[in-house]
Structure formats: C-alpha cells, structure tokens
Amino acid sequence: MTQAFKVAAIQMVSTPEVEQNFAAAARLVGQAAQQGAQLVLLPEYWPIMGMHERDKFAHAETDQAGRIQEFMAQLARERKLWLVGGTLPMAASDSKVLNTSLVYDPEGRRVARYDKIHLFSFARGEENYDEARTIEYGGEVKTFEAPFGRVGLSVCYDLRFPELYRAMGECALIVMPAAFTYTTGSAHWEILLRARAIENQCYVLASAQGGRHVNGRRTWGHSMLVDPWGEIVSVLPEGEGLVIGDIDPHRLQYVRESLPALRHRKL
C-alpha cells in the first residue's frame, strides 16, 4: 500500500452505565468517521467502568454472543471502518473473566481476538489495584492484517513488556487501548509509548480512559498517535474526544531504511 491510511483513537471517561457508554462511543466514532478515519480504536474498559471490580461480571459475554459485540459489529458496519474494540469482559470461569480486545472489519465481521496477557497490580498509599483478582491471564500473542500492513494487539499493562511486541513480528501499527491510572500514567505512559514505537520502528496508536470516573478512579488520558521515529503526531490530554492522524507507508519505509535496526537484530 502506498497511500496514507487515516486512524483515530477514542478517549472516554466511561461510567458504570453501559448504555451511556454506548452513546458516547457511537458519537465519538461517528466524529472520527466524519474526519475520514478508516480504523478507529476504543479504550480499555470502554463499555463498563463499574463502582466495584466485580461489576463487570454482570456484563461478561460468551465468545460469539452479546450486546457489546453486536454494538461494535454494527458500528463498524454502519461507519464502514475497521474497529478495534478496546476491551470488554468475556466469560472465563465462575470467579474470573477475560479482558478481551475484538477487531471488526468494515463489513462488521470479527477478524481477531486478543485476551490481555499481562495483568496490572499496583499498591501505593490509598491506591490498590490487582486485576488478577477478577481477570484470567490471556496466553496468545495476536495480530491481524489491515490494508496498510500488520497490526499488533496489546492492552494497557502489556505496554511495559517489550518482549510481547518482538513476538508479533514486524508491524506497521501497534494498538494500545488502556486505562492507565493517573499516578502511573503521569510517570511512564508517554515514555513507554514512544519507546515501543522507536524500538519496533512502527506507529503506535493509544486510546485511553481520561478523567475522573463516577467510581472515584482517575485515569491519565493522553491518547496519542506516535510515529516510527518516536514523534507524537497527535495527543489529547484529558476528557472525551479523539486523536487522528495518518499511517504513512513512506514514513515507515524511510525510518526503517535510514536506520535499519530491525535488520541489525541478533537475538
């Protein structure tokens, strides 16, 4: 592919009300489509940010059925775009769910599924998170083929594990739906995103939760598109909205030819 391909990352401040989150996602994806986006990324936990960590169990879906999946398939089909559906809870066991990212093509067909591999835990002062209490570990690295090249799937805490991205092979784009906390995001989010772009010489599209949630949690936001040289193409600090920019195959080729680090790998 020689032409640029326009991509967008949606930033939300999701609530415990699924229908409210549906409305926000539909509105923002619609805005991205109107601006020419051909691939749109939703953030982690976009359909539900509950008051308690177990609230997501009531909304967990099976592999091929559920209103969240139906909503995403219809949205992709109506807007005629590739939709990377952030994450939703998928049934795993009586005590845990999987944190799953699903991908839909412009016909509304599901083309990929990735279950989050690395589960976040953090304890400092009053902040205490441990996803493994309610979420089951995923186990497979996943990519899919888009019109502009291979896209690597990852979610939030995965960002801290560079070996995951090496296992994907050469990608044109890495997607990163997330709900980084304000504390960890302010310290590491931008640095990690730019590092993943630089070391893999590809674009990174990051879609975040960004604000103060009904449940009291504060997320960092700063959804962004980073190019293969590590330069930030577009960023949204906080609140609902979107970032948009191009996957430019000429830029990708230029960076890889001028500094052929991927060919210089020995391990």
The pLDDT score that the predictor gives to residue 93 is: 82
Give the residue numbers annotated as catalytic, written as ranges.
Answer: 44, 116, 156
Q: What percent of the chain is modeled with pLDDT above 70?
A: 100
Over residues 132-146, the pLDDT tens digits come to 999 999 999 999 999
Domains and CATH numbers, the chain: 5-261 (3.60.110.10)
C-alpha closest to that of 144 among 107, 179, 101: 101
C-alpha closest to that of 179 among 8, 7, 14, 58: 14
Task: pLDDT band for 61, please (50, 70, 90 cuts).
Answer: very high
Alpha helices in the chain (DSSP H): 18-34, 67-79, 162-166, 182-184, 190-200, 249-258, 261-264
The pLDDT score that the predictor gives to residue 1 is: 67
Report d(CA 91, CA 233) in Å as an integer: 37
Q: What is the mean pLDDT of residues 81-101?
A: 95
Report d(CA 129, CA 127) in Å as an integer: 7
Over residues 188-204, the pLDDT tens digits come to 999 999 999 999 999 99
Q: Is the pTM of this model over 0.85?
A: yes
Q: What percent of the chain is modeled with pLDDT above 90?
A: 95
Q: What is the mean pLDDT of residues 170-186?
A: 98
Over residues 206-251, the pLDDT tens digits come to 999 999 999 999 999 999 999 999 999 999 999 999 999 999 999 9
What is the three-class DSSP state of 124?
A: strand
Alpha helices in 132-245 (DSSP H): 162-166, 182-184, 190-200
What does the block give as tokens for 230? 């590590």
